[in-house]
Amino acid sequence: MAKSIDSAQPVIALLGGGQLGRMFIENALRYDARIHVLDPDPLAPCSSIASQFTIGDFRDRETVFHFAADADVVGIEIEQVNVEALQDLKRLGKRVIPDPDVLRIIQDKGLQKRFYADHGIPSSSFALLQSGRDLTDHVHLLPAFLKTRTGGYDGKGVMAVDSIADAQRAFEAPCVLEERADIAMELAVIVARAANGTMVTYDPVEMVFDPRFNLVDHLRAPARIPHPVNEAAQRLAKRVAEAFGHPGLYSVEMFLTTENELLVNETAPRAHNSGHHTIEACASSQFDQLLRLYMNWPLGDSGLRGLAAMINLVGEGGSGAPVVKGVDDVLHLPGSFLHLYGKHETRAGRKMGHVAVIAQNQDELDQAIAVTKVHCKVEPRE
Ligand SMILES: Nc1ncnc2c1ncn2[C@@H]1O[C@H](COP(=O)(O)OP(=O)(O)OP(=O)(O)O)[C@@H](O)[C@H]1O
Ligand SMILES: [Mg+2]
């Protein structure tokens, strides 16, 4: 039977009200969708544009359950939410994306690594430690990366370990110790998997990290890799989504090693920083794809319309009310799109916005990345 859009649209309850939620809502409003948002911060980026905004803790079971009790669909824009509440809501018959079982695995970097090993998905060798200090028992994995199993984000809770001497400053918490990959390029592939098993992938993006903050500085799409590697990365992302076995949007971070091997680093079961360029560069963005998943609509066209780049605008200097400098320079660039997340306070390392660029050739893209990085700054008001 043909589907129609009902005037009484389903309610989508979203846990988390940050920039990912805001960009999701920006697109969802085109379809007149109703999005209710839960976030502890009354000034969160979604607070001014959600159909309904509830102030509350998405880590608290009761709060989440009550918040989403009237919704038809429950989604997340941050992983650190209460999974038991999502189980309860699923039992009530709500469509919960990502599935609580998937989220439980992904929330714990240890379970996630074991999941890849169990499903034959290539990922670096690892050991699970009761405390990071125990890394002295696993010298064969050095040089390595030590990661707290839970609670880390944007590179926090991750440290490079060169020798056993580093054990002294290691996290005193359950950790994963991972062999260090010899990285030629960091890639990410977003895949949408519908309830009927259909999958759509985006082209791999090439991510360049800012070592100061351990987060993405900028990315390019498609990644400058040979065609067979591009295809292999998309196939690998599909294998990951297939292994999780539930509908959802999966952002698969990978390492392309100097040996030309693809290793999965980690997966986010949600929209991701590595897909922001898709808003302008693709007919159906990652946010559009997510809405289609929530609504059980057909998946959209993920093809790139040109070469694209995305440059994060990250707070520099101290904290305070933000001032965005160099807006004119960015807006002068052909094919540029400025996104500001509406955060009321900037801090060093806080994602405040981004610039997306679509260009005809790599030189134009280089130029736009350089201009944005030199001129566009978010700083606290003096
Ligand atoms: N095994 C590894 N070998 C080499 N580099 C690694 C390894 N694990 C992590 N890294 C480096 O550290 C970065 C952060 O690691 P990871 O993605 O696991 O942390 P995170 O806290 O989830 O970060 P984010 O939230 O920004 O994705 C990676 O992007 C990569 O640059
Ligand atoms: Mg990561």
Domain residue spans in the chain? 11-97, 125-179, 183-380
Lookup: tokens for 316: 């520099």
**Percent of the chain surpassing pLDDT 90:** 93
Of 116, 254, 265, the one to substitute when testing ligand 1's pocket (max ligand atoms within 8 A of C-beta) is: 265
In degrees, rounded to 5, the angle at the alpha carbon of residue 99 between the alpha carbons of residues 93 and 103 is: 140
What is the third-level CATH fold of 183-380?
D-amino Acid Aminotransferase; Chain A, domain 1 (3.30.470)
Ligand 1 atom 26 nearest Cα: 154
Task: Specify the 3-state DSSP secondary structure of 96.
Answer: strand
Total number of residues shown for the chain: 382
Segment 223-278, tens digit of pLDDT: 999 999 999 999 999 999 999 999 999 999 999 999 999 999 999 999 999 999 99
CB proximity list for 130: less than 8 A, separation 6 or greater: 174
Return the minimum-mean-pLDDT range out of 85-94, 157-166, 282-291.
157-166
Extract the tokens encoding 281. Answer: 């560069």
Nearest-angstrom CA–CA distance, 311 and 273: 10
pLDDT at position 154 over 90: no
Q: Is the pLDDT of residue 7 over 70?
A: no
Tokens of 332: 């002068």
Task: Tell how strand 11-15 and strand 73-76 pair up.
Answer: parallel
Sign of the Cα torsion 104, 109, 110, 114 reads: positive
Specify which residues 214 forms β-bridges with. none
Mean predicted confidence (pLDDT) in 339-361: 97
Give the max Cα distance, the chain: 66
Instruction: Kindly tell me if the per-residue pLDDT of 5 is higher than 90.
Output: no
Half-sphere exposure (Cβ direction) of 266: Cα atoms closer than 13 Å: 25
pLDDT averaged over the chain? 95
CATH number belonging to the domain at 125-179, selected among 3.40.640.10, 3.30.1490.20, 1.10.274.100, 2.160.10.10: 3.30.1490.20
> Facing residues of 88 across strands?
none
Contact 225, 244 (CB under 8 A): no
Burial of 334 (0-12, 13-18, 19+ CB in 10 A): exposed
Q: What is the pLDDT of residue 155?
A: 66
Atom 16 in ligand 1: residue holding the nearest Cα? 155
DSSP-derived pairing of the beta strands 199-201 and 183-193: antiparallel
Give just the sign of the alpha carbon dihedral 351, 356, 362, 366: negative
Q: Give the distance (Å) from ligand 2 centre to CA of residue 327.
A: 29
**Mean pLDDT lowest among 52-61, 64-73, 180-189, 207-216:** 207-216
Query: Which pLDDT score, from 0 to 100, does residue 3 have?
Result: 59
pLDDT at 287 over 70: yes
Mean of the pLDDT values across residues 97-104?
98
Counts of helices then strands in the chain (DSSP H, E): 10, 20
User: What end-to-end distance do the CA atoms of the chain give, in Å?
Assistant: 60
Q: Where are the extended beta strands (E) located within 258-376?
A: 262-268, 307-314, 322-325, 336-340, 351-359
Q: Which long-range contacts (CB under 8 A, 24 or more apart) does 69-74 make?
A: 70/11, 71/10, 71/11, 71/12, 71/13, 71/36, 72/10, 72/11, 72/12, 73/10, 73/11, 73/12, 73/13, 73/97, 73/294, 73/295, 74/12, 74/13, 74/14, 74/15
Name the pLDDT band for 153 (thresholds 50, 70, 90): low
Distances (CA, A) of 239 to 180, 190, 201, 227, 267: 23, 12, 11, 19, 12
Token digits of residue 381: 């008001």
Query: How far, in Å, CA of 258 to CA of 180, rounded?
Result: 12
pLDDT of residue 214: 80
Taking residues 99-109, what's their average pLDDT?
98
* Average pLDDT for 201-205: 98
Cα 179 from Cα 126, distance rounded (Å): 6
Q: Which residue has the tokens 């992904």?
A: 106
Distance of alpha carbon 281 from alpha carbon 276, whole angstroms: 9
Query: Of the ligands numbered here, which is closest to the C-alpha atom of 156?
Result: 1
Adjacent-strand bridge partners of 199? 193
Q: How confident is the model at residue 6 (pLDDT cuts 50, 70, 90)?
A: low
Which pLDDT tens digit goes with each residue over 14-23? 999 999 999 9
Domain covering 11-97 in this structure, CATH number:
3.40.50.20
Residue 16 and residue 271: Cα distance in Å, rounded?
12
By alpha-carbon position, which residue is closest to atom 2 of ligand 1?
180
Within 6 A (CB) of ligand 1 lie: 124, 145, 147, 152-155, 157-158, 178, 180-181, 183, 186, 209, 215, 253, 265-266
In tens, the pLDDT along 70-82 reads 999 999 999 999 9
Residue type, 326: G
Measure 153 CA to ligand 1 centroid, in angstroms: 10
d(CA 352, CA 377): 10
Whose atoms come closest to the Cα of 148: which ligand?
1
Percent of the chain with pLDDT over 70: 97
Q: Give me the pLDDT at residue 152, please.
A: 72
Q: Output the CA 242–ligand 2 centroid distance in Å.
A: 20
Rg (CA), the chain: 20
Ligand 2 centroid, distance to 155 Cα (angstroms): 7
